[in-house]
Amino acid sequence: MSAEHIKNTAKCEACARNISLIGLLVNFLLAAFKLFVGFLGRSRALVGSGLCNLSDVTSAIMVIIGVRYSKKPPNKRYPYGYGKIEFIIQFLMSLMMILGTVALVLSSFIVIVKRVIIIPHLVVFFIAVMSAIINGLIYKFAHCGFRELNSPVLKAHAEHNKIDVISSLLVAIGVIVARQGMHWVDPLIAIFESMHVIHGSIIILMEGLKGIMDTGLPDDYVEEMKRHILKVNGVRQVNEVRARQAGRYILLDII
């Protein structure tokens, strides 16, 4: 590994920690603000978006833990290192996202069935737009960190913020439509948001589960590894290559 690559990796890890700390603070403030205004402004969609931000607070904490502990070197107890902790955190993050949205779905269904008239305050629109911009910036930096470090937990964090961007934009649209007389739109968007969050979280959860279960890497990757191994002096035959991902690292068992 070149000195330049080590330098870039260290820089990316520092950036990942910083964006996680910023994301932790920003999402906590956004969650508190959205929940407060959502209740006062009579917008279930904004409350749902606030719950998404609240889950991102947990996501940011888990990213900080994952980035820190997945770097720990192997030892006698854990000869393959601590990379798996990123998959475990990814799994837990997604599970918490799913559980956190179920209550909102049920309550929104009740509002629609009972035909409760809800007219969201216009301030909800401006908060939603502001939230979309902020979460978009966090997504950009978190996705960059995932791309450079190949970190599953950073990928999950980026995807959660991407979901928040879509969620906030839907809230903004819902406010405008609901104020035109379609009062059922706000709880309907809250349900749609929740289902979107659950769908995205299930995908991330399954990826984390694959990592925990040591799912093999694609065949074309394994074949490429075989070709590289055969180029090593003294190697005449490769009987078997098993590849699995441990966090940001790939482990090879070669016979």
Structure-token match 């009062």, residue found:
183
pLDDT band at 2 (very low <50, low <70, confident <90, very high): very low
Task: Report the C-alpha gap between 86 and 83 in whole angstroms.
Answer: 6
| Residue 231 φ/ψ, nearest 5 degrees | -80, -15
**pLDDT bracket for residue 4 (50, 70, 90):** very low
Looking at residue 253, the DSSP 8-state letter turns out to be E
Q: Name which of 4, 153, 139, 7 is nearest 82 in CA terms.
A: 153
Q: Which element (helix H / strand E) includes 234?
A: none
For residue 249, give the 3-state DSSP assignment.
strand
pLDDT tens per residue across span 102-131: 766 766 666 666 666 667 777 878 888 888
Residue with tokens 């603070």: 25
Phi and psi, residue 130, nearest 5°? -60, -45
Q: Each residue of 175-231: pLDDT tens digit? A: 788 778 776 777 777 777 777 777 777 877 887 788 788 777 888 888 888 888 999
